[in-house]
Amino acid sequence: MRLNGWLARGVAFAMTLMTGMGLMVTARAAQAKNTPSNEIGFSVSAQLPKNQANKKNSFFDLNMAKGQQQTLKTVINNTTDRDIKVRMGINTAYTNNNGVIEYMTAAKVFDPSLKVRVGEITTIVGPKTVTVPANGSKTVSAQVKMPAKQFNGTLLGGWFFKRVSDKATGSVKGTTNLKNEYAYVIGLKYRSGQEQQPTMKLGKVEAGMINYHRGILAELRNPAAVVISNLKMNTTITSKNSGKVVKKATKQAVQMAPNTLYDYPVLTGNQKLQAGKYHLHMVVKNQAHRWVFDRDFMITQQSAQKYNKASVDDNGISIWWLVALGALGMLILILIIIGIILLIKKQRQRDEDEQ
């Protein structure tokens, strides 16, 4: 009976600790949303040149001529009391799976229409990792070299700055070290020659998977050197066999980078993929433009089985939630054991005092 009492009190003790820990994690998450620059440790500011097209923009928005070479400069400010290291890189912008223009990470695949990449015509001058002195600053440079042949339209990319941190929670073999990583991106927009008119094309339509979630991937392409903003997409997928609508989807605020492709995922959720012939009807529009696409496509039995088997949609829970729940279970067990040990020690101390 005494052991059962200790066990019950141990569970209560563990739950109390867990509640406190949950509050601390929530507080930390809330702070991260509005992290001041002194916690991040550094800030960056572009030194805008005379050929800045729009003076109101804080990023590089430059009027460029064919064959033009120019050095761009950015100041890194260290707001800490010790030296820090900052790693830099330059990427060509693209539209990611969320329909947002991505500057921070490199694209895995480029649209065939992209002939000139910002990441290739813009290079960091000197080392890509620099040391910024405590409470000081450092000016870094990047060299732009426009193509000798006339380019018409807009080139888009990003110059990113990422603090290199040596801090970690531990170095136990077989565990993952956690650390905070902070980064800034300064946009690189080069305008040259004649402005291009927006256009849109529909590429491949097929069954696929995004982050272990199954669905239909519709490849939307922007083959022009122009940014297309604030797009709304209405999609209807119909079975060719039955004529019934099997899926409707709406996506808003999509941003298409110049000469990019967007693998728009029409996710089916708990609805399994079925082999058969289908028809996709898609309307893509903003205030100034409207495109309508119709495409027949097929889902093979092999594809349906492949993505249904690999999907986490049937479980209603992602693989990362399973990992988190497993870790949480281990933590609760450890806390219960600690609680029981402490209560046993406390009870023994009482017994000794009574003697």
Among 133-137, 147-151, 182-186, the range scoring the smallest mean pLDDT is 182-186
104-124: average pLDDT: 94
Q: Which residue has better confidence, 44 or 335?
A: 44
170-181: average pLDDT: 47
Smallest CA-to-CA distance from 85 within 134, 35, 126 is with 134
How far is 125 from 162, CA to CA, in rounded Å? 17
Q: What is the pLDDT of residues 259-309, one digit of tens each?
A: 999 999 999 988 899 999 999 999 999 999 999 999 999 999 999 999 899
Among 102-111, 214-223, 287-296, 322-331, the range scoring the smallest mean pLDDT is 322-331
Q: What is the pLDDT of residues 17-40, one digit of tens each?
A: 333 323 222 222 233 333 444 567
pLDDT of residue 337: 85
Q: Residue 2 above 50 pLDDT?
A: no
pLDDT of residue 335: 83
Q: Which domains does the chain have, with CATH numbers?
A: 38-171+181-192 (2.60.40.10), 201-315 (2.60.40.10)
